[in-house]
Structure 1
């Protein structure tokens, strides 16, 4: 390698990283083309080749690698920079390559002295020098061609190029390869002389490295980073430009090395890249330097319209396009209708090289220009948020809010947060409230802890009552949705400081009271709420009144007062009810549980908001069980199931734990629907998933879950287990001071459950208590339901009268599911009264209603009773067997199903144990089972139990 080339020789990447050497990668196709040209020169004589490319693409590196390979193959290589004196370097290089005592060396020295002596400098090459050079080349190219490499030929002057041209034309018949490099798009210093020298040359245009070559180069530059996504991001940002890759690798090393992720690369600011590009452009055309900075500001990944770029750089559109053509030819800008930098990395490099004031001015000018031309909000917002200062105008706030909404719809939370943060700074009035709340919602969606801190910070800064109420709603949802979150006391103290002196100053106190709602007896909670309501009127009255009405509903002492309290709370403004996530749901639950379905539905429509991106607010999620209860009563079980499952999914997204009372309450309601649908396996799976199959946490809020669990065990034939759940339910009610009949699920299924487990007296007492409760409430649905269950336990003509009244009232209330149950019980009673035609009519209607509701268990039970009433039992062996059981066999079998031992049955029925065994053996034979372990198999037939217990008294 000659001395001059050694000084300027570069590896792939053009500029060797400071303090580091790396190897040459890629360019194998280009090297093969140059080697072919080298071989061609041996037969054709002089071959000219031009290697061109954009700044930093690696022309010098390629020429260096080619020169090394050519020297290994025996060629003499002479390398010179365009700005140097090429012929002088050529003469010295030839002299060094020949033996010192060669006559050609002496001729070269003598001719060189005459050409460039101390006192003379001939403008043209002396013929003697040309002859000496030719003679030397002839001697050196006997076995291999001479390689002349002129790097940066576009920087050479006329004289240098003319001298070199004289030499190569004199050696046109000799094996000489002239390789010159040019920068794409840049005008040469001596364009005519360059064209003459390289006339007829083959051209090789270098592109950026391929993705695989980029990965190989990064493997050398950053040996610890072998991530394919990382190298792909580097290739995208640099378009494979080796110089930019080297600088990007240096930035990665300086900013954490392996800790830098692919998404961090978009923020890389490389001053060396900016200096090289702008410096080169300034020397060529100052307008081009202004233009490329304007393109960097105006265009994102998709580029910018030429008019916007022209506006920013202060040129006409025509002038902009002409100047942009230079950048296109230099391969800095893509040749497209939109003006776009080919290397995304160049954008951050150029913007990073601008002063802060220049960047702000450019972005604000771009935003104003785009706004005046009604560009999409997202494009305008990009420039508004990129500026550290704001426009002194009102329109940016609405644009930023629109852009944030679009970003959220596209799931681009980063862009949405950026727009909302800027909107909070520039907006006023309602727009600022919208921006503050939207930003808090987004922070909560991304990180609940961070969102809570953001909400409290915004609460302390706002003086707007509506914004304050909305922020408290969000803070309450975050606190109430968790199981006593860490730092709750600290949060409440911060909230208290933020709302001190306002109408909601007692909000932390309200939260503390309702945080204990699931643990404290409702009467105690109602008393504490009453003390709060005795204070000065404030914005918390509606929320506190709704919660107090719910507590009175639970105790069941004055259901009418509970309903009126709920109505009073619902008559208040929406924001007041939303101050605590439980308030609205509590008031509506009181109405729904007491049979005022239509009234509750009207309020639900008023308070239900359209779905928003991400998770719904907790106060909205808590309305789903209320709505599900309503549609379930209407007999729309599938819709109720969908709403409850949707509610569970939302609660999971809110971080509500599986054992939180809110979540278990929803599980209880969903169990009720699944049992009605006959989905027992799904119900048991739900119990396991919710950790509800075994022991439940203490508290009254699990009574609906216990009722449903007892129903499931009874439907599965495990009456003993059902009895244990009912006993636990009774104990929980007594401990909390609750009236059992105040639970809607208990009013619907309690009597049947008590009868199944053999507690007939308790069932009758419950039915009478339920009637008194219903008369106090006064709603048709509850009055109808009370007469249904009382008619069920009364039997005889009185039972028939009650059931017929129940049917009429439930028809009026449009409670189709309860109506199906009442009709089924009336059919059973009529069949018992030996009125089969009327029984068949009632059962037929019950089956039709149950089927339309999706209550498969109830419908199947009705069908079995119809089959028995119509004597069509040949298809079901167990059902036929039930009808052949003797009264004693039925009594004994029922006792066994309720979990009683043979000894207990004998004592209760006052017969011997042997007689019990004989009765059970006969019953098992008739039913086609082998023993007690087959009881669950019998209960798969929902119609068996009513037929089995028909006319069988419970032992005293």
Structure 2
């Protein structure tokens, strides 16, 4: 007698189903998106719960998509993303009002769904394109995305989920993810699970009453209580095991009565794999072969492929599938006739039953058949990965094609997997060398340590001098990102020797300049390396077009000059960045960053323009590794301008990029930048945590680019503990910078930092000497921010009478400069001095302007200082709206675009931010300009002079 039902009703899951349904229905643009993880052991009912949830949401009119991870497809590029969105994209023409989901920045994700549709693009470009695809999909209304078997989801899809997580604000998206407890968790999955915003729902085993309902549905009659108790104890209340046990009882003709309660023990098996094995062992060989074939293949396998893998005809496979479907071991799609296992546990059990040799034969047969019918390269490669090396025909060709597909889909880590396996298929040096070089190139985007290993092996096998020169350049870069400075220098020196040997070979134009650039770059990332400047041979361009190497050399020489406070630095950096060549072809590389830092220190507006250009490039065609420097130096720019909220957003994006790319060299920069930003905003615990994130010991090590770390550490110690310890830290920072040949207070103001702690210690003369010495160095450099800061600190140290003229000059220097926060600090210090001198009315005017600037900079500690000084004057600041109406950089960009009539969504896409961020910036802009909305925005921007520099108050 067959079971009474194919699938028993869902039991004891009403509360979970209601919670998930309510959560999805409550999600909208106002609430923002959410992530819920449905976690529990295999067979607890997660798959059924998601299926029921999908049906419930569809009944309520909510848009919902469901996908499932698969162990076979775990190495695919965005395999689960394709499951989710390919059906949606296939129905784009279904309604005249439906926008194309792949418009705008989402077009960058087209290659994920159309093999060979576009040239390969960077992994970040595709990742961001998929994010914009999700935004476009949510524009039609709230969307629920359900993903089953999260532990088997491919890595690129997990990266997208992690990328979406901090961008859910304002996005009407509900992500409900089912995860098997105890499954190994890759880094991207761990990132999702450990976020405070992620909530968990954990279904419990069925109670005896629920178990009795399941048994009654399957047997078609109410079971005796003793029988239910025996079955419940045997399965622990696991719904899937309970269902399989009931079917086993039916097969063995065991009635659900009390007298047979002890007989349940004979049915109980140690694992589901044994239960499935027992069922398969009782079937005909061709039926077992079909069951094995479906277990080997991906979800919903077509009959011809099943037949080819099983080694039978299509007709035989069709007949053999019937008893498997009737016995509910397999399911057949009513739409396509494809075969699949209704639960991953059943598939895994059948796969285990096949045995190691059978699995190898089956995967080899699957690879051969799929290749013969022109299946996607990644599907062929998935089977080759499960066959020992040299046993699959044309494995290298298939794997390289799969790698090309993965690169086109923006998944270099997946391409790395395919190429790494291809390497094990090759033994001759002539084939291995180019494959190793390709692997090194791909690994630079995912694993710089692996890139260095591949580069070393490729270099050892490369016969030509020209090849060794190009390989050596990248090998040095990989070692640099690892922090292996000596190894990097060695690689570049070998490359230079090979370049000399290959003199005149085609394709090497600009390589000499690039090698020089990297050697100069070492002098600003590793102390005591100034001798490398003697090895640099700057060559005349002789009228030929500039190369990337030439532009890179300009930028690193600019930073070298900036370190030494030589004024020609800015001109060199401008030349290096002038035509955008380095941005287009070297985004994320160290020389580009050198040019930015030189111009930021010089307060040259072209730095921001180049960073914006790089931001556009990196989001349109760049890599995850490259977008870390873009956000990091955008954060530094905003910090030095005084736009602290914008600076924090940029710095946190840089942290995200560094963590995902694994580039260790980014931590000594990004950690201190974020720490300084948080300290300026008054979040000292957050600042300490940011500095700790840099992963460095308490005392800065001598090796590596530790100057920003040492500088920030000194400031943080002054703000927290003060005294001799802070004083020693400031002097140590200056000593460290000196090891790099550096002495520019625009980059590292160690003298004024030491002066401030010396003043706290009562050593005023020493403090004044250091502060005035910094004034001299800052004047030689010429930028307003370091001059104004040095004058301000010197004025404070000397006091309200002897230092008054210095404080006045500081305000005059900083008025109209980019450094609004430093200007506000100078105003407060001058006001304090004016109050001491009896100029109380003027002091109040200064404080009014300072208060508004401090509020616009989002600097609570400075606002508190304004109040403290004002308290000595006997009142509160009478802030005059419009006296200093200044928009932050981000607010100005958003307002200017909104004034042209662009929608929030279009602005968000243009600036690579979320619509919610656009809304926040516009709200702040309306408040600052005293308008109620977009009407009159253009006129208000002009009338209020929001883009103009703030004028300093007169005496």
Q: TM-score, normalised by structure 2?
A: 0.49
Q: TM-score, normalised by structure 1?
A: 0.49
User: RCO higher in 1 or 2 (8 Å CA, sep ≥ 6)?
Assistant: 2
